[in-house]
Amino acid sequence: MTVQTATRPMPPSAPPAPGKTAPLAVMIVDDAVVVRGLIGRWLSERPTFEVVASAANGRVALDALDRVTPDIILLDIDMPEMDGLEALPLLLRKCPTAAVVISSTLTRRNAELSLKCLSLGATECISKPETNREVTTSQSFRQELVTKLEALGEGRRRLQALRDGAPAPAPAGAASTAGILARVRGEDAAPPAGQPARAPVAPAIVPRLACPPRALVIGSSTGGPRAVAEVLASAGESLRNLPVIVVQHMPPIFTAVFAEHLRLQTGYPAREPFDGEQFQPGVVYVAPGGRHLRIARTDGGAVVARVVDAPPVNFCRPAVDLMFKDAAEVFGAAALGLVLTGMGHDGLDGARALSAAGATIVVQDEATSAVWGMPGSIARAGLARAILPLPAIGPSLGAAIGGAR
């Protein structure tokens, strides 16, 4: 069995032209030669990527890491000799800087394995069509794959730039992380003349809440499953006083498995709600994949879940925007919003509604996000009351909720 590598030897790669960014080095690990070839062609057609290796199983991929250093590893679950679950920790040990994206078909077993991989250090999972023929014809799979890999690659580069102390590439007109944090703290973004710039340090705790919160509403996407679990597990007993409502961008089946993993990891009851179910304190509700989760108040005053089939919003179903807008209407200032790592800007319009209602919104910081798309869009809009590193979010929310009661 052989490893196919790029025609340009790696390492070392030729340096990028002045003013241009080097392409993202990708390794494709899949036992289907058709899938490897097809995905390799998709990626090679874009200047963003360079496919530096492809491998038929985890063992071959491990050997390839002696010769290449990928930025991204696309890893299949089901493979002979060494499958994705067995290979993952070995690959990360050998190449700890790589972002690993798990690829699997949409089954209960594969959803379980994919969530297990996320807990072991994989960054994201993507569901692929069940047959190789469907892979070749699915434009939605191609689009999702390319978009996610590009977002992850940009996120890794920005994170590395932050660690190196170099200016991170940013979209035109985007505010810097340091400037956003300074505004949150009420400081001037620029230091006085002749003084060194202050390091961007996130606030230690969420500011005092306007009123005791009646619901914690969370939106997340790429990198979110691990982030949500960490926040809830570290928030303490105060979460037993209010319902936790989560929209995580995931396909059907995966969200039900994700809820079960949250139950095991956090100790809180966690499940997908059924339509009309009344939200209860101390329970984590996960929006079902492929459907929107709405929040409504009945004529009798009960706050219930509405699980609906409706068109995607921001190309997402479930969508954070819809749930946040409902939370603003139903809970007002008593909603506490949290936006974790994720690509895109789903949740931005909903955050505007929450902010207008007087609710507090917290976002994850850039340095600990897999992709600073969703939280970054809210921070740049000036809607975040606090921008916190992931390890600080759970304890900060727990202290704020407890202190407001």
pLDDT value of residue 28: 97
- Quote the DSSP letter at residue 65: T
- Give the Cα separation of 246 and 288 in Å (integer): 10
Please report the pLDDT score of residue 155 as a whole number: 78
Say what the pLDDT of residue 195 is. Answer: 41
Which residues, listed in sequence order, are joined to residue 361 by a DSSP beta bridge?
337
Which pLDDT tens digits describe the chain residue by residue (405 residues)?
444 444 333 444 445 555 567 899 999 999 999 999 999 999 999 999 999 999 999 999 999 999 999 999 999 999 999 999 999 999 999 999 999 999 998 889 999 999 999 999 999 999 888 887 788 888 889 999 999 998 888 877 777 776 676 554 443 333 444 444 444 444 434 444 444 443 343 444 555 788 999 999 999 999 999 999 999 999 999 999 999 999 999 999 999 999 999 999 999 999 999 999 999 999 999 999 999 999 999 999 999 999 999 999 989 999 999 999 999 999 999 999 999 999 999 999 999 999 999 999 999 999 999 999 999 999 999 999 999 999 999 999 999 998 776
Task: State the DSSP code for 291.
Answer: S
Nearest C-alpha neighbor of 252 from the set 223, 228, 287:
287
Report the pLDDT value the prediction gives residue 192, as an integer from 0 to 100: 40
The pLDDT of residue 49 is 94
Quick check: 247 and 319 in contact, CB under 8 A?
A: yes
Residue 265, amino acid = Q
Q: Which fold is adopted by the domain 22-164? A: Rossmann fold (3.40.50)
**Phi and psi of 295, rounded to 5°?**
-120, 130
| Order of strands across the sheet that contains 49-55 | 4-5, 49-55, 24-29, 72-76, 99-105, 124-128
Distance CA 69, CA 107 (A): 31
d(C-alpha 367, C-alpha 371), whole Å: 9
Q: How far is the C-alpha of 28 from the C-alpha of 275, rounded, in Å?
A: 40
Question: pLDDT at position 129, please?
Answer: 85
Residue 206 is predicted with a pLDDT of 56
Do residues 47 and 17 touch, judged by C-beta distance below 8 A?
Answer: no
pLDDT at 342: 95
pLDDT on residue 169: 46
- Pull the structure tokens for residue 138: 């699915």
Angle between helices 348-356 and 320-331 (to 10 degrees): 10
Report whether 218 contacts 336 (CB < 8 A): no
The answer to whether 104 and 113 have CB atoms below 8 angstroms apart is yes
At 185, the amino acid letter reads: R
Return the amino acid letter for 13.
Answer: S
Nearby residues of 177 by Cβ (< 8 Å), 6 or more positions away = 162, 168, 200, 365, 366, 367, 379, 387
C-beta of residue 80 within 8 angstroms of C-beta of residue 22: no
**Domain locations along the chain:** 22-164, 177-186+200-403
- Residues serving a catalytic function are 221, 249, 346
Task: Identify the pLDDT of residue 202.
Answer: 42
- Residues with Cβ within 8 Å of 186's Cβ and at least 6 positions away in sequence, in order, are none
What pLDDT does residue 193 have?
42
- Domain 177-186+200-403 -> CATH class: alpha beta
